[in-house]
């Protein structure tokens, strides 16, 4: 089989350490299946900015264009000019029109203790997919930006085309994901014109999926529902800004930002997979970062881009089993050994190897 090309962005802070663990998982997949992976080193972010004055060098972008998928860690350093590193990730999302940002939030049975709501009723657990619009809104830098010392503006722009494609995608996920039925739309239609267009398109499109139940929430109320009844959500579809914020809140329901993966998807193009967290400078270099978000991002890549559902399910099972045996410090549990980033990755890789061998 011709090797699959994965462009790899090592990134900043804890990022190279967690990317190493993501590649470890791909290496195990290559060892036991017909898949072969070729890694293309495509630096982006703060470290490369310091070297070449550009946080998304043209050469890296060209390597990504030649790849079948992109594996991205995180970017951002405390001593960089404002926004420099973030421009790299937003630049990749825009360049490849990765208009879907998928953020699955799943509480593993073996790690229910990590959920900050564990002492409350959490029903049959937490299992939702946040489907965030990833190409428009405030982060798209369309519509102009003004910043002086006295005044600053950002213009929120949404188009019918942009709204429709993400809402259709959300309904498709609800239709095709076992156990998922409902689509919840989150907006701020009581205040924002963009949200009013969003809400009317949501209702119009919902008519085409008449068998799928829907509900709408204003984003402020949704934030409290997410804490109050997180087990009620299946697919949550929302705009770029709200999606960014509620997905961090949702991820913390798993006890650490280090647990949640994300996919920046172009269903007809090149997609990028990453953990949802940032470069975590507060723990960089200590060997304690949780690699599970990145490992689950690799799982998401195998499922979404390569349609390898069986291998993807085995990665998830390997994580589920590992959480019963050891933990990184952010999700540590009394009675279980505390593992370093590399030890956690090794244990998951070892379990995955056994599952793939069977």
Contacts of residue 264, Cβ cutoff 8 Å, sequence gap at least 6: 92, 93, 96, 98, 100, 101, 134, 271, 272, 273, 274
Choosing from 41, 160, 208, 220, the catalytic residue is 220
The answer to the question of residue 290 lying near ligand NAI (CB under 6 A) is: yes
Is residue 336 within 8 A of residue 321, CB to CB? The reply is: no
| Residue 229: active-site member | no
Q: Quick one: what does residue 258 bind among ligand NAI, Mg ion, none, with the CB cut-off 5 to 8 Å set by partner type?
A: ligand NAI
Q: Which stretch binds ligand NAI (CB under 6 A): 125-133, 165-173, 182-190, 256-264?
A: 256-264
Q: Quick one: what does residue 282 bind among ligand NAI, Mg ion, none, with the CB cut-off 5 to 8 Å set by partner type?
A: ligand NAI
d(CA 344, CA 339): 6
Q: Which residue has the tokens 């390997």?
A: 318
The answer to the question of residue 277 lying near ligand NAI (CB under 6 A) is: yes
Query: Which among 125, 194, 117 has a CA at the least distance from the CA of 157?
Result: 194
Reduce the DSSP state of residue 291 to 3 states and report it: coil
- Minimum separation from the CB atom of position 150 to ligand NAI (A): 25
Choice between 158 and 242, CB closer to Mg ion: 242
Q: Strands, E, within the chain: which ranges?
A: 4-9, 37-41, 69-72, 100-106, 127-133, 145-147, 152-154, 183-187, 214-218, 235-238, 261-265, 272-275
- Given the rule CB under 5 A, which residues bind Mg ion? 244
| Residue 220: active-site member | yes
| Residue 188: active-site member | yes
Choosing from 54, 97, 127, 248, the catalytic residue is 248
Is residue 226 within 8 A of residue 253, CB to CB? The reply is: yes
Q: Which of 258, 261, 263, 326 binds ligand NAI (CB under 6 A)?
A: 258
Taking CB under 6 A as the criterion, which residues in 164-193 touch ligand NAI?
A: none
Binding mask 93-112 vs ligand NAI (x if CB under 6 A, - otherwise)? --------------------
Give, in order, the Cα–Cα distances in Å from 357 to each of 323, 343, 347.
Answer: 21, 21, 15
What number of other Cβ atoms are within 10 A of residue 313's Cβ?
14
- Minimum separation from the CB atom of position 135 to ligand NAI (A): 16
d(CA 320, CA 348): 9
Choice between 18 and 69, CB closer to ligand NAI: 18
Residues forming the active site: 139, 188, 220, 244, 248
Interface with ligand NAI (CB under 6 A):
14, 18, 74-76, 86, 89, 256-258, 274, 277-283, 289-290, 293, 330
């Amino acid at each position: 089989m011709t090797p699959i090309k994965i462009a790899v962005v090592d990134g900043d802070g804890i990022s190279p350490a967690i990317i190493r663990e993501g590649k470890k998982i791909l290496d195990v997949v290559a060892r036991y299946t017909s898949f072969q992976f070729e890694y293309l080193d495509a630096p982006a972010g703060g470290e490369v900015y310091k070297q070449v004055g550009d946080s998304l060098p043209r050469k890296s972008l060209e390597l990504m264009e030649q790849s079948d998928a992109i594996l991205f860690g995180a970017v951002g350093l405390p001593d960089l000019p404002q926004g420099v590193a973030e421009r790299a990730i937003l630049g990749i999302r825009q360049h490849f029109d990765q208009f879907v940002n998928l953020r699955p939030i799943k509480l593993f049975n073996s790690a229910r203790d990590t959920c900050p709501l564990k002492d409350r009723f959490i029903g049959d657990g937490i299992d939702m997919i946040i489907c965030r619009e990833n190409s428009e809104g405030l982060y798209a830098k369309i519509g102009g930006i003004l910043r002086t010392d006295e005044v600053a503006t950002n213009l929120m722009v949404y188009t019918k085309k942009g709204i429709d494609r993400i809402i259709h995608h959300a309904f498709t996920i609800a239709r095709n994901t076992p156990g998922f039925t409902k689509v919840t739309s989150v907006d701020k239609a009581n205040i924002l014109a963009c949200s009013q267009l969003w809400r009317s398109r949501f209702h119009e499109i919902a008519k085409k999926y008449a068998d799928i139940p829907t509900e709408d929430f204003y984003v402020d109320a949704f934030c409290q529902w997410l804490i109050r009844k997180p087990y009620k959500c299946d697919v949550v579809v929302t705009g770029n800004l709200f999606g960014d914020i509620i997905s961090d809140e949702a991820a913390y329901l798993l006890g650490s930002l280090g647990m949640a993966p994300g996919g920046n998807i172009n269903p007809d193009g090149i997609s990028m997979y990453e953990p949802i967290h940032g470069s975590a400078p507060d723990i960089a270099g200590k060997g304690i970062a949780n690699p599970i978000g990145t490992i689950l991002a690799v799982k998401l890549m195998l499922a979404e881009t390569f349609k390898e559902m069986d291998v993807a399910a085995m990665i998830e099972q390997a994580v589920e089993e590992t959480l019963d045996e050891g933990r990184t410090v952010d999700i540590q549990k009394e009675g279980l050994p505390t593992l370093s980033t590399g030890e956690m990755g090794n244990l998951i890789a070892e379990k995955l190897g056994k599952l793939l061998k069977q």
